[in-house]
Structure 1
Amino acid sequence: MKDKSRDQHGSNSVTSRRDVLRHGASLTAAVAVGAHGSRMVHAETPSADPNRTINIGIVGAGGRGTGAVNDSLTINENVRLVAIADLDQANAERLRKGMQTRHGEKVDVKDDRIHTGLDGYKAILDAPDIDVVYLTTSPGFRPSHIAEAVSAGKHVFAEKPSCVDPAGYRVCTAAHDQAVKNGTAIVTGTQYRRQINYVEAVRNIHDGMIGDIIGATTRYCSGGIWYKNRAEGVSDTQYQLNNWMHFIWLSGDQITEQAVHNIDLMNWVMGAPPESAYGSGGRFTRPEDSEMWDSMSIDYMYPGDRPVSFMCRQIPGSKGDNGSTIRGTKGTAIIGSGSSGSQILDRDGKEIWKLGGSIADAYRQEHKDLMDSIRAGKPIVELRETANSSLTAVLGRMAAYTGQKVTWDFATKESTLDLFPESIDWDGERPAPAYAIPGKTKLA
């Protein structure tokens, strides 16, 4: 990554989470004031006009950001991409070119509306003509970016996970409440909640088709994941931001960054987050400087004495398994990953319900729902649900990393864990990478 923005956009260092955002009593007020004072800068007041044009600015021009904005421009009429922010100029220009090729007049990003560097996102939040901000950077930035976007009065699409630690969770829940007060939307990248076979399977479960829920098993096991070697001459900060998946302050490890989808399904099915987590795991195949583990197994206990056995793994050459099985007193629901569909069996194993689904349709539907809710003047605000699922993943990681049983109450009310740096210097050093060791890594 090359820093081409320091002269244009100010300092090459940024303060992480403002102190006031971390303290419970002042949290909601802090989100309301934020970095921009009390002013609102979204372009238009809520309108029931189904034809008004909605302008999009995106922060994070990588693969997920590209997919999200492409889905939005594909499914929605009268939307325009007008601004892009990314750490890397080349990424931003690549996104602009690709979207122009696919969507033509729906893309109107002038050269002076490409913003780079650590603080490039601020130009998008300050722009009065931008209605919706897409937040698709590495997850460690998500809580503070959401909070600042809400304080700027923007509608938000925020990718999953919404947080990687309890400190970020508290920022997100305050931002959710403030968005409700603002009348601004927050839709999140939990596409399974809009995939027809998931929606109908969960409805059938809640309607009693499998009886009372006894427990569940969910797996997110796959092969390896990308890793980027360190280029010559880059700082610690630049390297870690470019190789973000392998640093816990940025990704939260596989359980948080990737497997949160299955964890979100469990919270949805159970109707609440778990009461506790206890687990283990380890690392066998990760590169030397990666902080990630490559497997975790967590026993979650949900209200009503309902256990969920969860496992995630990224080990090359191992057998993949991605899906969820929910067991009840009358039957079993099997909900596959991706587009593999859902089915419900009775106690004798006879199929009594089945439905296919398209994950591609679900990816697009979340963006249609966002824009439709804005145009109707009834903005969707769903950050709290995704924050709960993100923290459920963090809860499991905390339990595995420390070797301790960790409760939801501890994570939400007592934990002081805050992984994000006090400040980030683009050219600066970072602490040497270190992975967790149960029994040595302390619960915080």
Structure 2
Amino acid sequence: MFPSEPDMNDKLNRTTSDHPTTTRREVLRRGASASAALAATVGASRMVHTQAASADPDRKIKIGIVGAGGRGTGAVNDSFSINDNIELVTIADLDPGNAERLRTGMTRRHGDKINVADDRIHSGLDAYKAVLEDPEVEVVFLTTSPAFRPSHIAEAVKAGKHVFAEKPSCVDPAGYRICVAAHEEAKKNGTAIVTGTQYRRQSNYMEAVKRIHDGEIGDIIGMTSRYCSQGIWYKNRAEGVSDTQYQLNNWMHFIWLSGDQIAEQAVHNIDLMNWVMQGPPVSAYGSGGRFTRPDDSEMWDSMSIDYMYSDERPVSFMCRQIPGSTAENGSTVRGTKGFAIIGAGSSGSTFLDRSGKETLKLEGSIADAYRQEHKDLIDSIRSGEAIVELLETAKSSLTAVMGRMAAYTGKKVTWDFVANESELDLFPKDLQWDGSRPEPSYAIPGKTKLI
């Protein structure tokens, strides 16, 4: 994600750094006309990338990327490892160094699939607009820090681009509503949106969930899910950088940018929960705290959430990032006839009967799943049958946000409230590259308000 290097002193000479980025608040206020000015600049080419233009299955598809850090580099590598006749033509990132590293590294791996001229590397808060305005770009990868995801998706759909968008789709209810509108517009336009929920394309996950839905373990009684690890990266502040620059560089530790661990990382398991339960939960009630985070980090380092799904089916969820603690990552689905244990990564899935006897073992590769999501995207574009899956990922992202809100406030939070009533919008009103930011703070239950 962007940026990935702690030294940001060389970023003050930006072609676009003097201008604030488009805010999600503007997108919400303007609704369907949120990106009218942008749409006008690409109006002549917008329809090039709809279903009607997808008749030639062998044409070269040109790709641009916004966010050239680790996840962006991984997305390019995954897509270019499995797809033929595609070409990366433009890169945008806060840091031009990230873009240069991506171009150099991917050229070594994928040769003539990388064709990014110097003048098609863009930097700054508004650099993404250059990618969306590029008439050659048919597909855009959106792999920045999560705060920017909703508005970037909405503007990409307006610009007629097909989209690969990393998870989470949003970090607050305001972003969720932007995603819902973008999903509907993408369906209407025939604009593909594939998201970074790779487990939905991992063979053991797909087969396990199908068998659960087909009744192999009987009626679902409940579920337990854990995403517990031993820590996360942190970047010290370099001298001479603004608050904005520092927070963008150290984005995981600021809630407006990452949504905390439950949204940024653990959303994979929460997405599985919604997938198994065939919809988002009715309510969430939880707790947690912070014990080991750096002083200026806004993150908690543990949360435990009790989600209640329809038909009174409880799901116990926990996430944790504490050095020296025992790591555990996976989910157990409990049914009237047996159990399904679905492990994280490539650890596979196991079915047990009520006595604990193993009845089925399923294997799957997460590396294959990462690549498959990109193959499905390109195949759907070439077939003219665009995949649009933003809504599912947005609901899972909001489920994570719902749990965070419950833990942060100490209140029981309902889906109806977060989806339809909450006014929480974490994105800064006027984000400036050289600007100041409020003093970092962390949530305290009983004091933090439910908004």
TM-score interval, smaller chain: over 0.9
Structure 1 residue ranges (4+ consecutive) displaced by more than 4 angstroms after TM superposition: 2-7, 42-45
Which one of 32, 35, 41 corresponds to residue 46 of structure 2?
41
In structure 1, how many angstroms separate the alpha carbons of the residues matched to 2:204 and 2:55? 30
Q: CA deviation at 1:332?
A: 0.2
Change (3 A) 1:311 1:335: same
Percent of aligned pairs with the same amino acid: 74
Q: Which residue of 1 aligns with 2:5?
A: none
Q: CA deviation at 1:42?
A: 6.1
In structure 2, how many angstroms separate the alpha carbons of the residues matched to 1:389 and 1:367? 20
| Contact map agreement 1:223 1:318 (CA 8 A) in 2 | yes
Deviations 1:188-237 (A, max 9, x none): 00000000000000000000000000000000000010000000000000
Q: Which residue of 2 aligns with 1:180?
A: 187
Q: Does residue 411 of structure 2 align to residue 411 of structure 1?
A: no
Q: CA deviation at 1:7?
A: 5.4
Unaligned runs of 5+ in 2: 1-7
Which one of 50, 60, 64 corresponds to residue 57 of structure 1?
64
In structure 2, how many angstroms separate the alpha carbons of the residues matched to 1:16 and 1:2? 25
Which one of 375, 391, 402 corresponds to residue 368 of structure 1?
375
| Contact map agreement 2:49 2:162 (CA 8 A) in 1 | no
Q: Does residue 347 of structure 2 align to residue 356 of structure 1?
A: no
Which one of 334, 348, 351 corresponds to residue 344 of structure 1?
351
Letter in 2 for 1:240: Q
In structure 2, how many angstroms separate the alpha carbons of the residues matched to 1:9 and 1:397? 34
Change (3 A) 1:130 1:43: farther
Helix, strand or coil at the partner of 1:289: coil
Which one of 246, 270, 285 corresponds to residue 239 of structure 1?
246
Q: Does residue 214 of structure 2 align to residue 211 of structure 1?
A: no
Letter in 2 for 1:41: R
In structure 2, how many angstroms separate the alpha carbons of the residues matched to 1:346 and 1:10? 60
Which one of 430, 444, 448 corresponds to residue 437 of structure 1?
444
Q: CA deviation at 1:47?
A: 1.5
Helix, strand or coil at the partner of 1:167: helix
Q: CA deviation at 1:16?
A: 1.4
Q: CA deviation at 1:119?
A: 0.5
Letter in 2 for 1:376: S
Letter in 1 for 2:46: V
| Contact map agreement 2:49 2:161 (CA 8 A) in 1 | no
In structure 1, how many angstroms separate the alpha carbons of the residues matched to 2:14 and 2:282? 49
Q: Which residue of 2 aligns with 1:133?
A: 140
Which one of 14, 17, 28 corresponds to residue 21 of structure 2?
14
Deviations 1:51-100 (A, max 9, x none): 11100000000000000011000000000000000000111000000000
| Contact map agreement 1:5 1:117 (CA 8 A) in 2 | no
Helix, strand or coil at the partner of 1:11: coil
Change (3 A) 1:10 1:224: closer
In structure 2, how many angstroms separate the alpha carbons of the residues matched to 1:330 and 1:224? 37
Unaligned runs of 5+ in 1: none
| Contact map agreement 1:41 1:126 (CA 8 A) in 2 | no
Q: Which residue of 2 aligns with 1:396?
A: 403
Letter in 2 for 1:92: A
Q: Which residue of 2 aligns with 1:104?
A: 111
Which one of 310, 313, 316 corresponds to residue 309 of structure 1?
316
Q: Does residue 166 of structure 2 align to residue 170 of structure 1?
A: no
How many residue pairs get aligned? The number is 440
Which one of 126, 136, 155 corresponds to residue 148 of structure 1?
155
TM-score where L is the length of structure 2: 0.95
Q: Does residue 33 of structure 2 align to residue 30 of structure 1?
A: yes
Change (3 A) 1:140 1:93: same
Q: CA RMSD in A?
A: 1.4
| Contact map agreement 2:306 2:317 (CA 8 A) in 1 | yes
In structure 2, how many angstroms separate the alpha carbons of the residues matched to 1:193 and 1:6? 42
Q: CA deviation at 1:41?
A: 2.8
Which one of 275, 282, 286 corresponds to residue 275 of structure 1?
282
Q: Which residue of 1 aligns with 2:202?
A: 195
Letter in 1 for 2:300: W
Q: CA deviation at 1:354?
A: 1.1
| Contact map agreement 2:9 2:240 (CA 8 A) in 1 | no
Helix, strand or coil at the partner of 2:46: coil
Q: CA deviation at 1:49?
A: 2.2
Which one of 226, 232, 235 corresponds to residue 233 of structure 2?
226
Q: Which residue of 2 aligns with 1:85?
A: 92
Change (3 A) 1:90 1:7: closer
Change (3 A) 1:142 1:369: same
Q: Which residue of 1 aligns with 2:342?
A: 335
Deviations 1:24-54 (A, max 9, x none): xx63x23574742483536444323221110
| Contact map agreement 1:32 1:178 (CA 8 A) in 2 | no
TM-score where L is the length of structure 1: 0.97
